[in-house]
Structure 1
Amino acid sequence: MQCKNIINLVFICTSMFFGGLSLSLLSPFYPHEALKKGVSVTKSGLVVGAVFITTVLCTPLCGKFIQKLGAKNLLIIGSIICALGNILFGFIGYVEEQTLFFVLSVLTRIFTAVGEAAITATCYPLAAYQVSKQNEGKAMAVAEAFFGVGTMLGASVGGILYDLAGFSIPFYVCGGILLASTLISICCFDDTNVILESGNNTRDVTWVEVLSCPGLFIGLFGLIFAGCARSWYAASLEPFLNKKFGLTSGQCGLVFMAPGLTYTIFTPIFGIFIDRGFHSMKVMIIGNVVILLSFFFMGPIPQLETLGSNLWLTVLSIGVQGLGTAGTFLGALLLMMKGTGLGGLPDTEQVKGMVSSLWLLGVCLGSYIGATIGSAVFDHFSFEESTFFECCLMALNIGVLLAVFISQRVSISLKYENDDRQPILFREETISREEEERICGE
């Protein structure tokens, strides 16, 4: 890897870090601040979820704009929008009127989400272009890990700064540093190699071609449910921790660090496993099973009420959920990336950007559903009952993924059942990984 590629990766990871930081910055204190102004937890969930639904709407545009503007330019534009959005959100703390506070919160989060969508859609293809083909999984895992670090620290930094200096300071700090970093990257980021490699095939790829590739829809399906689980307690965990254990906003921020910490640690590990031949679909299934288990003990669910409510068990469960999310998110991303190659699409900046945009769409659509429904269930029932509801959704998701995966394995066995070299149970070893990926994606 050349020096300029290392510098590029530094800027890519920095943008991903602040994108994650921006996403989780308000989680530990916004619901509390909103309640003081008369805004319910359900409405707070809509504010948190606004970023996800906006990303869903912007994602297809980002994927296509990469072809016109270039990934580097779109990354810079997105970073500036995200930075300004955070700075503007800081001024909302001075608004006292309930309805105006809620409306401005939603509008500013929508504006910020446009920038966050552009950052995530461009960073994955840019990261892949900085390394050799066999190391793409690791490069994207590193970029994703920095997003996880930002998500992990965002809640903690937000809660601590809120306790120290009030509502506005967390947003001023995050937005100001991101803006300064972006201005530096304008001069230092070198994307010459990306332009040259993309120029080898300038054919404009359509969304129909991308969506027809193997593995795209099953990847999106798993992402939506995992994204739903990730944000299920985004607006309800802070009130639950405050009421049940008496935690402050800063302490709640430390609890919100748990999933980000495990997500950051295990994302590169899953990337290494996949690069060494572990099937992306298996990683997705394992990740979703881990998420399901974590929700059993997070409250815990009413059926396990004999365990009682323990802060350490809640924190441990949230951390375990981050582990499962790492496997699901990265497994789905790499499954979808490989699917475009198996579908015959060119290996260009545009195609990688469109796939990462679809990946982001799945995550954010699920996150919006989770933040909205999770906070509504909490308002009408309890935190423990809301986690049981999410367990049911995850069980449905795992059932579908397992059914699809088993049917694909059967298809592989039947396809090669005339091969007498070894028993059918182990016959998958006689075919290439590319052939297995193609069949498993169909």
Structure 2
Amino acid sequence: MRMLMVVMTMPLALVSIAPLSAQEVLEGKAAFGTWEADAPGVSRHITSAGLPAPTLTENDPEAPDFENLANVVAPPPGKMPDIPAGFKAEVFASGLNQPRVIRTAPNGDIFVAESGAGRILVFPADAAGTAKLEVFTEGLEKPFGIAFYPPADPRYVYVGAANQVVRFPYRRGDRKARGPAEVIIPDIPTQRHWTRDLAASPDGQRIFVSIGSASNVAAAMPKKTKDKIKAFEKTHGLGAAWGDEENRAVVRVFDPEGENVRNFATGLRNCSGMAVQPGTGTLWCTGNERDHLGPDLVPDFLTTIQEGGFYGWPWYYSGGNEDPAHAGERPDLKDQAKVPEVLIQAHSSTLQLVFYDKDAFPMEYRGDAFATLHGSWNREHRTGYKVIRARMKDGKPTGVYKDFMTGFVLDEKTVWGRPAGIAVTRDGALLVSEDANGTIFRITSFSP
């Protein structure tokens, strides 16, 4: 069995508590800002009613994106992420090639999609300190989503590659695929968005795959009559886009054998991450929203996903806010576009989310959601590049999110990390991957 050794080279990091001012919830205009205001404990609440008007009202989909790509550097000596007091961070693994999605198997083993290398890696359930990894499989095109089926006692590991969904035979504790890939969903188009996340329903009857859009705002779609739109939506879902966007910007659902494939929810420009909320069985998505409307539009988000739900793209955003690129085209959809429960500052590039369902962190964390913000690349002043915590109350989102892990931005041009994947381990630690330098961090709680 092939084995690799990943050696920790960074020291333990303890971080002091955030200033008292960081405990206030920033609302309205104050909720919009840059990386300079980020710190563990800073809270924001963005609402659909409080959004600014578009500042780039032409929203030209063919115009080149404004690019402000970060210069990625190695971590400065001794540098670690900033985290709240009472927590500690250590490097769990390093030297990986674009580690993104992290998933914990039912037996506690840790599966990682090493997207840049085309591999799925496995770390033992008890891995800490110097982490030994094994290659579960390789030769995939940008693997991303990972799902275990059936969820409680899996016989397969499903993988969402950019171009297809495949599965591998699996038994509890396997760290090497038992057989070759079996194609379940073939020929997924790869133009623009390629992150195909997966989630399985708790009853094991359905598997979901997210497929992002092929464009920014679908402005090149050919015209359709009202009758043709109505007929199209009967088979594709409310507000579904067509042309090159057919079966794009959606969450699709299928049975475990890859049959009965259909659109489960529509109008999701790029649901880069999915998670099933423990206790409720509710499917959640992260959302990467569109460009060309200004530095503070359109908010990224975390949202529950309802069967048959329409989430706005490309005609509307954050509820019934009309996109200027499609002004007057679909007034019938205005009151049907759902408002995501947690709106996040625009261009943050949400990727993954996970619900904290263990007891190792303080009780106030139980039931909350963590999400990774990969960071802006098309905004004059950077935002994102952090991990946030979405606050829940009685299992329902409050709309408030709080900075949990920050400090990856060194200055306006330079960063040393871009958070991507996130998972909760069997013992209650939090694992966070960043794909700029290929590192996975392990965050634990302790008594100060």
TM exceeds 0.5?
Answer: no
Whose helix fraction is larger, Structure 1's or Structure 2's? 1
Structure having the larger proportion of residues in strand: 2
TM-score, with length taken from structure 1: 0.21
TM-score of the superposed pair, with normalisation by structure 2: 0.21
Asked which structure has the greater RCO (Cα within 8 Å, sep 6+), the reply is: 1
